[in-house]
Amino acid sequence: MSKYEINELYGSDSENRHLKTLLTDLGERTLYDAAAQCNRCGYCETVCPTYMLTGRETLSARGRNQFVRLLVEGKAKNTHAAAEALSTCLLCGACTSACYAKVPTADIALEGRRSLSGYGENFFSKIAVETLLKAPNLFALWLKAAYLLKRLGLARLAEGLGLYNFIGMPALKDAQNSMGRPPLRFASEILKKNQALAQKGKTSAAWAYFAPCGPNYIFPEVALATVRNLKKYLGDGIFIENSCCGLLAHNYGRLEDAREFAKKNILRYEKLTGSLGKFAVIGDCSSCVAFMKTYEQLFTGNDEWRPRAAAFAAAVRDILEVIPPEKVKRSQKAGTAGKVVYHDSCRACHGQGIRLEPRAVLKKLALERWRELPESDWCCGGAGAYAFTQTAMSNAILERKLTNIASTQADTVVVGATSCLIQLNSGLKAAYPTAKAVHYSVFLDNFGKRQE
């Protein structure tokens, strides 16, 4: 069987498999109408990494939108090519940033992808998502077992036992080289015990920290740095004790599970606002934050959850956008970071329009060692599990990013998403080991002080 197949063409779906409508910049649209907004002008072609690398029309935003239209109409003759086009989209959103009509090609491609045969039906990802949803402690236990074996130098055993498959992260075994020492205590465990972040006795809070799975399970030092920064620059807050945002389930075709994750987080937020009043929900992985800002899209139609999801989404913020630069002072040791550049994670710049805010803070910290990274808003090729499912394309995209980084002679590359952190450090380690990627929260925590 070919690698790519579409057995069930779009239109014969159930509502559990596809979003009912898409919330576009021009209003609420069916998938077909959203794709039909693409007038094929080609204005976005030069910003689409997969098109620029291959020169293939089918791997551009215009090509992908056209395929989805044909699939809905039942006129797609070459379903293999359609499946390849939809599978290789990075979902980066660069095309939408460049598009006058703001056609949401990433959402459209993902909806098309839900029609691929077997999409969302992988046994292990089903078990993993369900465990994360219904028994997160068991999920954490599996992950710790895999990490422990890795620490003991038995990573292959963890792989052989299927531990990575069971946690739905077969990619993690490949990502391990760029992870450093895997944590055996997760951020949520540490933060739950932190009295300063407890809700008890509080009548208000400026913010609630939301721990995305990356900072929670892979880089707890990022989560802890975020919390220290929030306290230092924004005042008192709490840990929201959240569930996974649902992005993993959403992108792997398990829409109903994604809705369940969203409902859990919305309920938690509503309960806390009852006693604390309104507060910002702040996360530190741009992919998860951007997804939570679109929770309303999960519940379009007459769903009673829709306004509740919209209220939650309106409270969500990215750590990249909330630190006031006027409150930040450079610490003495900031010079040790060397030349500093900022890589715009796709879901920060294209997904949330965040570009200026982190730069304002970083420029204050880096001073004359700040450099602007050419093509800083080009995807690094990480894109969730893309680096492991589309390895050749991902490597080619990463190579372009590394060339741009090398052209600035940067020592530190600041990022805002877990996937970029893994992808860039993996590439830098191999090709440009004098530089390293650091999360924005960690950089600010290390080199910033509060301006009194």
Binding residues for ligand SF4, rule: CB under 6 A, are 38-44, 47-50, 61-62, 64-65, 89-95, 98-99, 101, 103, 105-106, 109
CB of 36 to ligand SF4, least distance (A): 10
* Pairwise CA distance, residues 29 & 331, whole Å: 49
CB of 107 to ligand SF4, least distance (A): 9
Cβ proximity to ligand SF4, 92 vs 438, nearer residue: 92
**Closest CA relative to residue 354, chosen from 144, 102, 117, 97:** 97
Cβ proximity to ligand SF4, 67 vs 299, nearer residue: 67
CB of 103 to ligand SF4, least distance (A): 4
**Closest CA relative to residue 41, chosen from 54, 59, 60:** 60
Cβ proximity to ligand SF4, 103 vs 309, nearer residue: 103
CB of 326 to ligand SF4, least distance (A): 35
Cβ proximity to ligand SF4, 91 vs 149, nearer residue: 91
Cβ proximity to ligand SF4, 99 vs 424, nearer residue: 99
Tokens of 306: 């829709």
CB of 123 to ligand SF4, least distance (A): 28
CB of 246 to ligand SF4, least distance (A): 20
Whole-number Cα distances in Å, 53 to 47, 186, 289, 328, 394: 11, 38, 29, 40, 10
Which residue's CB atom is positioned nearest to ligand SF4? 99
Cβ proximity to ligand SF4, 68 vs 95, nearer residue: 95
Q: What is the residue-wise DSSP string for 346-383?
A: HHHHHHH---HHHHHHHHHHHGGGB-PPTTTTS--S-T
* Pairwise CA distance, residues 56 & 59, whole Å: 5
Q: Distance of alpha carbon 307 from its chain centroid, rounded?
A: 24
CB of 314 to ligand SF4, least distance (A): 25
CB of 239 to ligand SF4, least distance (A): 33
* Pairwise CA distance, residues 72 & 66, whole Å: 10
Cβ proximity to ligand SF4, 49 vs 170, nearer residue: 49
Cβ proximity to ligand SF4, 290 vs 328, nearer residue: 290
Cβ proximity to ligand SF4, 235 vs 353, nearer residue: 353
Instruction: Please state, as a whole number, how many other Cβ atoms lie within 10 Å of the Cβ of residue 345.
Output: 32
Residues 6+ apart with CB under 8 A from 318: 282, 283, 284, 286, 289, 290, 348, 352, 354, 416
The b/e string for 361-373 (b: 16+ C-beta within 10 A; e otherwise) is: bbbbbbeebbbeb
CB of 95 to ligand SF4, least distance (A): 3
**Closest CA relative to residue 394, chosen from 108, 95, 113, 90:** 90
Cβ proximity to ligand SF4, 42 vs 180, nearer residue: 42
Determine the longest span between alpha carbons in the chain, in angstroms: 66
Please calculate the CA angle 231-237-239 and round it to the nearest 5 degrees: 110
Cβ proximity to ligand SF4, 37 vs 243, nearer residue: 37
CB of 349 to ligand SF4, least distance (A): 12
SS3 of 439, please?
Answer: strand
Tokens of 255: 């829409």
CB of 77 to ligand SF4, least distance (A): 21
How far the first Cα of the chain sits from its last, in Å, is: 65
SS3 of 20, please?
Answer: coil
